[in-house]
Every structure is written in structure tokens, then in C-alpha cells.
Structure 1
Amino acid sequence: KAHSDANNADARAEQAKMKIKHLEKSLKPIIKEMKKEEASAAKLSANKTKATEKVAMLQSKLSGMDFSEKEFTSLENEKIELENSVSNLQQIVETLTAQLEGRLSFKYSDPVRGFDRSKVKGLVARLINVKQPQNATALEVVAGGKLYQVVVDEAITGKAILNRGKLERRVTIIPLDKITSRRITSASCSQAASIAEKMGSTSFPAIELVGFDEEVRSAIEYVFGSTLVVDGVDAANKICDATKTRTVTLEGDVYDPSGTISGGSKNNLGSTLAKLSELTVAISDLNEKQIQLKKIVSEFNKLRSISKEFGDLSDKLELAQAELSAVEKHLSQTSYGMLADKYSSMKNELEEAKLELNSMDKEKKIQWDLYHKLKEKEAELTREREARLKKIDADVKKAKKNAADKAKEAREAETDSQRLLMELESLKAEIVAAEEAVNAAEKAAKEANEKEANMQMKVGEMKSLYDDAKIELDGIEGKITACSSDINALSKEKGELSKKAEFAELEAKKLSVKIAKIQKEKANAERFVANMLKKHSWIETEKESFGAIGGDYDFNAANPAEMSCQLKSLKEEQSTLVKKINKKVMGMIEKAEGEYTELLRKRKVVENDKKKIQAVIEELDVKKKSELERTWVKVNRDFGSIFSTLLPGASAKLEPPEGMQAWEGLEVKVAFGDVWKQSLSELSGGQRSLLALSLILSLLLFKPAPMYILDEVDAALDLSHTQNIGNMLKTHFSQSQFIVVSLKEGMFNNANVIFRTKFVDGVSTVTRTIGIGRSAKSRALRESGDNRQEEQPHVKKHQTNRRNQSKLGKENTVF
């Protein structure tokens, strides 16, 4: 194998030598031709050198500038995004401010000259911030009207503002030095939290859900300190009952220890604090974005001054590179250029062939050294084998000869014999291995010889092919020499065309640079237009009129210089007027329009409710008339019956005046016999009393009560009338119980139970008699004994002088 590799390397080395020889021979005429054409290509070479130096100089300048176009574009995009964000946030802040202006504005004049406005802390709503938006509704319910009260440092300050502050509306002032607050005890808080946790809810003191400065703590405790905010209706109710503390749910339902519950309708509940929190966040974001924008604008302005110079240098570099490319292309198309390219190509091939030759020489030397080393080792192994075999034979003969003589030493000799036999076996194995190695080496040598013969045959074939190719090459070179004159003529023509093409390509490059610049300006203009459209919404509505001849936007008739001056003047006027114009008016208009729409909706609801109420009223009027008719009929019947019972021979009725209905009014008519009295003034005092009592009792009889109490209704009546009252009660009020206080005997005839009161030894005593009619009265008189004798004078005195009534015995009659 080493012999084969060596022959292989030798063949490749010979090929490399032949290639080197051929290339060196071919380079000589090319060098001569290059020297001839060098003068004609000197100008192009100088132009190439000049263009190369120009490109290198521009690249050096660009690399020396601290500018990145990618970074500049990114910075510009970031600036536009920040400007849009700031504009949007400003609009949000203005809208929210306008919406909250009416509720959270507090304007006042200094009550005294040099007044320290830091003494007025502001509205409670502006002194707190809601930590979590979902608590806004509950906290607004907790605060109620206190949310819009004004906090000041001292009562004197509050009094001065109220008296001399020229306030536009009524306000309530909270002085920090006078206000007292009530905090929920820690025990109540713990108990509430425990109850809420068991019910799967949460409970927190309202004051823990808002942030505020320690300076106004007493005012915030006054507003939020005595209420718990609970997540859940059931938990809120239970905590209120257990801790006797006012609780408010997240939905705004209120549970008060006094037993009242309020809630249900939300309307705009919680919107004030929610919008105030949103306004605070928006202002914070706006300030942050404005700081970022200021920083970006500063960096952008620094880079913008460098950007123009960088762009000009980039354009110049692009043109210089285009010029260099055109010169190189033109130079490569000339005879000198073609020869230079061919020379360069052949030079490279020559260098590669030399490297190949050196490599193959080294490889050949290594392989031949290896081959010779293996040959020497083979001969050495052969010599050692023969010497060792001779030595073994001599030792065997000597051992056999000495075997008979040394029979006595057979045992020792046997050991030596065994050792020698083992050594012999080892040597035989080594000999076999050596023979195998020799056979392998001989086989490899044979294969190498065969490969060498084959390679020599191939070399012969390649040599014949080379000779044929050389003859063909000589013929081609002759043809090339014959065609060189034609090539020179064509080269001149091609050179002229190349110059024209180069000029055209240079012009195209300039145009492409110009196009790129215009596209960049177009992109900037599109971004500018987009910003203008976003900033000025009127452009979208007015753009159809742009360019219209004779219109407000006739651009052909407009003078840019005059328009620029007019724009400058209008901007100055705007900057002057902006201080006098209320920018928040749009937000206020939106709010007013919203309120107007809401009022229209409410009016429609009220009108619909009015129609429903009118329909209900009409229905109720019909029912009222029907019920009045029914009531009149029954009361009139009972009225006449009761009056006839109280005053036998007389009758009474209720009837409407002439031309009127019962529901419009009723008159009382009284008749004695068949004669109807024209006026009640014709009746005596007792008769009028009985008439009034009859009317009252007839009304009571319409819907009888289970019990009535009459206190000396017969005081002004004589005994016959009193007895008639008892009969009437027994007859007409059979389903009701009467407790009657009376001093006259006629009232007792129909009583079921009589209670008699009297003084015994200066102590009030009550006696009870059960019975019906006159027997009950008799029993009562018998039980009273002689005391009845004393009662009669007192009864007479009662009729003349009621001041002595306390000394009389009274009887309470129960029917």
C-alpha cells in the first residue's frame, strides 16, 4: 500500500510539473500583450484608482460620524407615537376635567389681602385616592354629601371664606382643628372580618380603602371612619346586626344599626370617584409621556442636524460606488482588462499547481520512506528466523546425546525439556506470524507493482493525450492570433459603447438615488399628512373642496408667501385668544347634551307614567263613586234606624243637595212625625247631641270594631235618652263590645258587667257585678248597701258642679 501511495503521489507530482511548465509558458505572451495594452488602459486605471480613493474617503467620513439612520428613524417614529399619546391623554384629561368641573369645582376669593391659600386643603373628593376601582361605588355611598365638603386648617379660616370668600354656591366646611371623628373599634373590625370570612366575603373599614395625606387624617376619619365596606349583602346585614356598625356593600346597599336599609337604584353612583381616579391616572400618564417626549425631542433635534449631512454623504458615497463599479466594468471589457483577468486566473492556477507539487513531493517522500522501512524489517525477520531454527536444531541434538548419559538427571532434564518445548512452541508461533507478515508484505509489494504498471500505462495514455491537446492548443493559439485584429476593432467599438452605457448607468444611479430621496420625502409627507388628519378633523370633511377653482381652497390662486404670513398672524392671534377661550367647553357641551337627552328621556317616562296614573285615577274615581254610593246607602239606613231608636217618633236621613250626587256632598235631614225640619238650628241641644251620636255610630257600624269606649256620652242627656242609648247599643252593635263610663241608671239596664268605683277610707275601691238588665243593677245596689244612699246627692252635684266628681263613685258598664 505504501508503494502504491508513493507511485500515486509521484504521478500527481508529474502532472503538477507539466501544468506548471504549461502555465509558465502561456503567461509569457500574456504579459507581453499586457505591456502593449497598458498605455491604452492607463487612463481607466487612473480613474479606477481615483474612484477607489473617493469611495474610501467617503466611507471613512461616514464611519467617523456618530449617526445611525436606523436609530434616527426609530427615534422619529417614537417621537410621533409619543406626540399622539400626549394628544390623546390631553383630550382625555380635558374631557374628564370638564365632566367633573361642575361637581368638584371650588372657587373663592381671598378673604383678606395676602391670604395663604395652603390653609384651604380642598374638597374631600380631591384629597383621597381610591386604591381599588371596584370600591368606588361603596366609598361614594359611605361619604355621601360629605364628599363635596371643603377641608380647611382652622375654623377661623372657614369662617373667613364663608363671610368674605365670595362663594358661588353653598358649601359645608370641615375645620381640622374642630372636627371630631369616630373610629370603629379594633374588636368590631376583627369580629366583622371573622363573620365575613365564615360567609366567604371580605370586610374592611372604609378608611383603609382610600389613600390620603396624614395632614387631613381627622377629616377623612370624619367622613369614612365609622363605616365598614363588605363584599356581600348577607354578610353586610349580619355584620351590621352583630357589631352595631353601619355597613355598605360594593353595590352601594346600606345597612344601618337603626334598622333602615337603603339601596337598589344605582344611576351614576360611584362615577365621581371612578372618574376622579381615572383623571389622576391620566394626569400621571400625561406627565410621564411629556417628560419622555421632551427627552426624545431633544435627542431628535440633535440627530436631525447630523441627519442631513449624513444623507448627503450617503448619496455621494452611492454615486462614487456607482462610478467605481462602472469604471471597473469598463476596464474589464477592454483588451487590457481581459488580459489582466486571464493573467490573474492563470496566476492563481500556477500558484495552486505549485502548492500541489510541493504537497505531492512531500507525500511521495513519506510513502517511499515507509516502503523502504517495511522492506528492511522484512529482511531482518527472515534472517532472525533462520538463525533461531539452527540454534534449536543444535540444542535438540545436544539434548538427545546427553539424554542417555544423564538418565539420573531425567527429572531435572524433563523440566528443562518441557520448558524448551514450550519455548519451541512459542518460537514456532512467532515464525508462523513472521511468515504471515512476510506473505502479506510480498502480496502488498506484488499489488504495488501491479498498480505501478497500471499507473505507468495511464501516464503513457495521459502523455499521448497531452501531446494531442498541445498540438490542438497550438492550432487554437494560431487562430487566436489571427482573430486578435478583429477583437481589437471590436474592443474599440465596445469601449465606446461601454462609455455610453457607463454614462447611462451613472445617470440611472443618480436617478435611483433621487427616486429614493423622493420616496423618503414622500413617506415623511405621508406621516405629516396622517398627523395633520388626526390633529385637525375638519380636513376630512373639507378635503372635497381642496383645489376647487374660486373656492376657499383654490391652491393655484393662493400665494404661499402670503398664506405663510397669514398663518403666522393667525397663530399669534390664537396664542393670544387661547388665554380667553375655555377649552373645556366641548366637554361641557357634551355633558349638557347628555343631560338634555337624559331629561328628554325622563320627561317621556314621566308623561307615560302620568297617562298611567290618570287612567288609574279615573278607574279609582269609578270605584270611589261606587263605594261611596254603597257606603251612603248603608250608613243612611243605620243612621235613620239609630236616630229613631234614640228618639222615638223621629227620623233622620242623609241625602245629597238638590242637583248633586252623593259623592259630591250630603246633608242631614231630621223629621218629627211627618214634618221634615228645614234646618238643624230648629233642634234643641239634646236632640242635636243625639243626632251627632247617631251619625258617628252609624259610621262606626259600617265597619264595626271589636271594642268601643264611651266616656260619659250621656252627661248632657236626660234619663229617658240615656236608657234609649243602652237599648240602641244592645240592638245595633250585637257583635261589638262596649266599655261605657256613666253616672246614670238608665245606662246600666242592658249591661252585662258593671264595675263600680268609690272611696272607702280615702282609698279608691272597685267592685264588679255580673248580670243582665235591671237585676244586675239591683244586685249592685244591694251589695253597695247604705253607700247608695250617699251616692245620690253626689250624682245631683255632678250635674251642677263637676269639680266634685273625684269624690263620687263611678260605674263602668261593659256591654
Structure 2
Amino acid sequence: MFWYKLICFDLDSAKSVAFHPQTMTTTITIDGDQFDPEGTLSGGARGERANFLARINELNQAKEELSAREKEMLEVNSDLKEKEVSIQYTRLKNDYDLKANQLNLAKLNLEQTTHHQKLEKLNNLNEEIKTQQEESQSSNSELENLRTKLVDLENKVKNNTDIEKEKENGQKINEAKANLENKQISSSQLQQDYKSINMDIDVLRKEIQGYTEELEKLEQNTKSLNEEIDCKTSQIGKLKEEEDKIIGKLNERKEVIKEKNREIDSKNKECDRLEKEKNSIELKIKELAHKKSDLKDHLKSYEETLDVLMRENSWIEEEKLFGQSNSIYDFSKQNIKEINHRLHELKNRKEKLSKQVDMRAMGMLAKKEEQYEELTKKRQIVLRDRATLETTIEDLEKIKTQVLIKAFESINKDLGNIFKTLLPGAFAKLEWVNRNSLLDGVEFKVAFGDVWKESLTELSGGQRSLVALSLILSLLLYKPAPLYILDEVDAALDTSHTQNIGLMIK
């Protein structure tokens, strides 16, 4: 249907539909030929304006292609989202920065720990041991020198008879002995320090060994972290390349979509132009139809006037014989005096008959015949509209029945589930009063266990309230509303039923 006109594929179908008694509607073929039940037929060669339906079809095809391109665009976007290149890149970069910071913090913590301080102390002690060993060696050499001097002095004392020299040598010997004792004391002290330092060195070596092992572990962890960083960096590079490829494909798709959008814009402009041409053509068609209707009205009035004139003046039909021989208008064979005399008699007779005969009866008969024909046409239109309305009513009745049955089944299912929740161990349902006549209504059926109640009067007030509330909630489930106001719905219920209602609503 297109502007109260039916569009057909070929001439035969357009002709059969246009002149069918149940349709009687103007039809137009795809090629532009037009059939009118009133008797007008238009068609033949058409200009480019007759192809606007084909152009509209092209526009629809372009729109379908656009929708297909948009689907491809959505697929590309979904692929891009699935890969999550940017998210992975950011996450790997953060992991890289985090591992690098952890490595730097580990180095700083290692320098600030007691292990590092003890390592420095160990190095200082090693240097001090070296200096003590050097001092001990110099003291031992000096002690040996003193011992040799003491032996020499004792030998000299034995050989020297001089008392003074003996005293001097004795003093020197005493000084040498005192110096020797001091050196021995300092040497023993150095030996004790040396032993304690060696013990400290052993302890520090053990600690250094533990620290070395721990440092090796840290170096291994650092190495693994560096390897992981390198792996992540390579992954980031691969993902970056893949992201560049996807972005390139996406840009290509965007260019294709832009091109299609430009084509669609041109098609839309063409469609707007065709729509304007179509509107102008339809306006011209309406103008021509209006002119045609006016001409038909004028023609009808002229025909009516002609019929009246023909009935009132029968000589008009015979006027074509005027002046011809061997006809009633062959005046050469007529006697004018007799004709005038007969005319005078006929006029007198007409005057006498006019007093007895109604001359307007013929005109009234023509009007009544016209009214009869018009009423007959209106009756046909009414009968056709009546048949259409009856068909529409039957279709609506079928649709109404289907919708009613669908709503009944959905509400009945929700009613049973809700009532079972509000009152555990019970069940409720709806049944048709008359299956053949759905408009007779429905009735409730309630069961407790396997026992079905005959009517709602066998239920308590709270149970009837639960049945009503279940029906209301099932109706609201079928067609939800934006806002519900439940005012004292639990007035006739006990606490357990109220809790069940709250659970149901929640």
C-alpha cells in the first residue's frame, strides 16, 4: 500500500486487483502503469521520474550494506577489546617499573643492613690484623736483637774485671731485661688479641658466607627479574606491533565506513530529491484527479441536461433529417396552411391537457432514477465496507483470543509459584468457567497437599488474602508498573505470612 494505492509487479496482477469487486482500488505497476477502477488507464513510456522506486530500492540496499559494515566495525572493536593490547601494555610496563624499583630497593636495603656493616667491619679488622702482624714481626725481631745483646753483655761481664764496667753492664742488663719483659708482655697481649681477632674473623667469615649465599640468591632473583623484564619487554614489543596492525586495520575499516557514509549521504540526498519529485508528482496526480472529477461532474450535468432536452424536445433527435428529401422535414411536399392549422389544433389540445396532466412528472422521474443509482452505488460501498469490517473483526477476535490465552497461561503459572512461596505446601491455579466461551470468566482452584477446595469460602480470611495478593502480584509480573504502593496488604495476616510476603517482594 502506497498513498492509498496498491503497487503490483506486472500489468495482469495490477488489472485484476484494480477491477476486483472487493478491492476497487487504484493500482500502479513497478514500471509506472496505472489502473483506475473509474476507467482511467495511464502508462507507456516514462521518464526518469518513474524509476524512483528502483532508486529507493538502491537506497535500501545501500542501507543494508551500511548495516553490514557497521557489524564488521563492531566485530573489529570486539576483537580489539578482547586483545586488550593497551591494558596489557600498561600492566607489563607497570610490572617492569615495579621490578626495577624492587631491585634498587634491595640494593639500598643490602647496603643499610647489619650484614653489610659487619662486612665493612671485617675488612677493617683484616687491615688491623695486617698492621698488628707487622708490628708483632717487628717486635719479635727487636726482641731477638735484645736477646743477642743480652748474651753479649753477659759474656762481656764474665770477661771484664772492671767493677765499674760491671756495674754499667749490670745496669744495661737490667734495662735490657726490663725491656725484654715489657716486650714479652706486649707480645702476649698481641697474641691474645690475635686469637680473639681470629675468632672474630671465623665468625665474620661464617656470616660472610651466609651473606654471600644470600647475595647470590638476590643476584639470581635479580637475574630472573631481568630475564622476566626482558621477556615482558619483548611481549610488549610484540603486542605493540599487533596493536599497530589492528589499529591499521581499524583505520582501513574506518576509511571504508567513511566512504560508505558518503555514499549513503549521496543516496539520502537522492532519496530526498526523489521524495520531493514523488510529492510533486502526487500533487499533480491529485490536481489532475480533481480536474477529472470536475470534468466528470460537468459531463454528467451536461448529459443530464441533454437527456432532459431530448425528452422535452424529441425533434432534436430528428433534426439531423432537417431539409432532407423523403423525410418529415421534406417541406416541398407539405401544405403549409394545413400544417399551420394542425399546429393550432395541437396547441389548443395541449392547453386542454395541461390542465389535467402534471408536466413535471418526467423531470421528477429522472431525478428519482439518479437518486436510485446513487443509492445503489452507496449500498455497494457499504456492503464492501461491511465485509472488510467483518473480516477485520474476525482477525481481531482471533488475536484477542490468542493474547488472552497467552496472558492466562503466564499469570496462572506465576500465580501458582507465588502462592506456593507465600503459603508453603499449598497450590493455587485459575481455570476457565467455560472453555468454549472465554468471556464467561475464570475461577480459583486452591489445594492444600492433595486436597482441592471446592470454593474460596472454605478458606480462612488470611488464606483468601494470600490468594488475592498472589493474583495481584502475578498480574503485575505480566505487565509491570514503574511504582507500587502496597497499603496494609498484611492487615489480615499473621507474622509468618507477613514474612513470606516480604520474602516474595524482595
Say whether the fold is shared (TM-score over 0.5). Answer: no
Q: Which has the higher contact order (CA 8 A, sep 6+)?
A: 1
Which structure has the bigger radius of gyration? 1
TM-score for the superposition, normalised by structure 2 = 0.32
Higher helix share: 2
